[in-house]
Structure 1
Amino acid sequence: MPIEQMFTSIVLLGLLGIAVVSDLRRHRIPNLLVLLGLVLGLTIQTYASGVEGLGNAALAMLIGFAVFLPMYAMGGMAAGDVKLMAMVGCFFTPYDALWTALFSLAAGGLCGILIILFRGQLLQTLSRYWLILGARTYLAPAVDEVAGKPFPYSVAILLGTLASGYWLQIGP
């Protein structure tokens, strides 16, 4: 791995690590951290590839944002998660940012399933969603239900970024 690529990976993983710690502790991702990441990602891409790199980083940032925006609009995640995925995107090419966002969504689904299983709420959750599909109305989760608890999605973004980095290295 070239030194520039290693530096970029270390910077991105460091930023994601800080985001995960903040999200786990306070259920918030600091805007300043996201802004710093955006500036660093755009700067690194511009340094590596000039104006073309800046354009690719901006497009990749928009892809990361656009993939996560519908989840925010439906109430499935917080705005900080969407902004964090946009920040992650600007460290990649548009193609790689799309894969990273998709891997992060898959990691979030897997984390959600694991949380449901570990809390022993599989049947309760399945029955809740069967009721929603049948009634076609929103049923608010119970106080003790996993679906009503905040989920630190930055963990899924970190896992998705790591998985996509591995997958993109070995080739699609």
Structure 2
Amino acid sequence: MVSYVVLLLILGTGAFFDAQEHRIPNGLVLWGVIIGFLLEIAGSGKPLAGLLFLLRLLIVTMVFFLLFLCRMIGAGDIKLAALICGFLGLRAGALAVGFGFLIGAIWSFIKMTVRGSLFIRFSCLFAYIRRVFQTGKLTTYYDPVQDGYDVVIPLGLCLFLGTIGSMIFVK
């Protein structure tokens, strides 16, 4: 129970920073790792449990790293997703992250539809995919200097809401 409260406090703080500043502080994530590691050991009574916590963080980071390289997801968002899976375990964490991505997809779809940019954004995505296949090189999909923050949604907030949703609706 304590670990759920700690996780939600960290995610809520990360969501706030993501919505306000388009970034998630590394210090917040570091505190999440330290506290999660210690809570995992305290909860099981075994020092190896802390290593399993860190292993879950590593696995999730590796899974999402390709999206970061393409700048389709921020590094802070990956760190929050890793913390979710670290605290909840891979199965429950994947569900929470999946809910968060679903919330983000719905939000993005609505935002693009309301602004009339749905077809433009999909055209950009398909052009990017075609360019990657033609050149064989992963390039940056999104550049905040060039594209601005108008097309961005705070995925940290979506991950926070997805985690709450998974805790409420899934037993």
- Displacement of 1:94: 2.6
Q: Residue 106 of structure 1 is aligned with which of 84, 102, 107?
A: 102
Q: TM-score, normalised by structure 1?
A: 0.76
Residue-pair matches, total: 161
Q: Residue 159 of structure 1 is aligned with which of 132, 138, 161?
A: 161
Please give the per-residue CA displacement for 1:78-132, whole angstroms capped at 9, x wherever unaligned.
2111122222222112322232333333332222212212323223333444555
Report the AA paired with residue 152 of structure 2.
P
Q: Does 1:94 align with 2:90?
A: yes
Q: Does 1:137 align with 2:131?
A: yes
Q: Name the counterpart of 2:51.
A: 55
Please give the per-residue CA displacement for 1:37-95, whole angstroms capped at 9, x wherever unaligned.
11111111111113353233223222332332221122101211112222222211232
Q: TM-score, normalised by structure 2?
A: 0.77
Q: Name the counterpart of 1:116.
A: 112
CA distance in 1, matches of 2:75, 2:146: 24
Worse-superposed segment, 47-56 or 10-19 = 47-56
Contact 1:56–1:94 (CA<8 Å) still a contact in 2? no
Contact 1:61–1:97 (CA<8 Å) still a contact in 2? no
CA distance in 2, matches of 1:16, 1:40: 13
Per the alignment, do residues 147 and 18 of structure 1 end up closer, same or farther by CA in structure 2, a change over 3 Å counting?
closer
- Displacement of 1:148: 6.6
Report the AA paired with residue 38 of structure 2.
T
What's the % identity of the aligned pairs?
27
> Gaps spanning 5+ residues in structure 2: where?
133-140
Per the alignment, do residues 167 and 69 of structure 1 end up closer, same or farther by CA in structure 2, a change over 3 Å counting?
farther
Per the alignment, do residues 59 and 132 of structure 1 end up closer, same or farther by CA in structure 2, a change over 3 Å counting?
closer
> Gaps spanning 5+ residues in structure 1: where?
none
Q: Does 1:19 align with 2:32?
A: no
CA distance in 2, matches of 1:167, 1:66: 28
CA distance in 2, matches of 1:110, 1:40: 32
Contact 2:3–2:39 (CA<8 Å) still a contact in 1? yes
Contact 2:32–2:83 (CA<8 Å) still a contact in 1? yes
Matches within 5 A, 1:1-40: 5=1, 7-40=2-35
Matches within 5 A, 1:58-97: 58-97=54-93
Determine helix, strand or coil for the equivalent of 1:126. helix
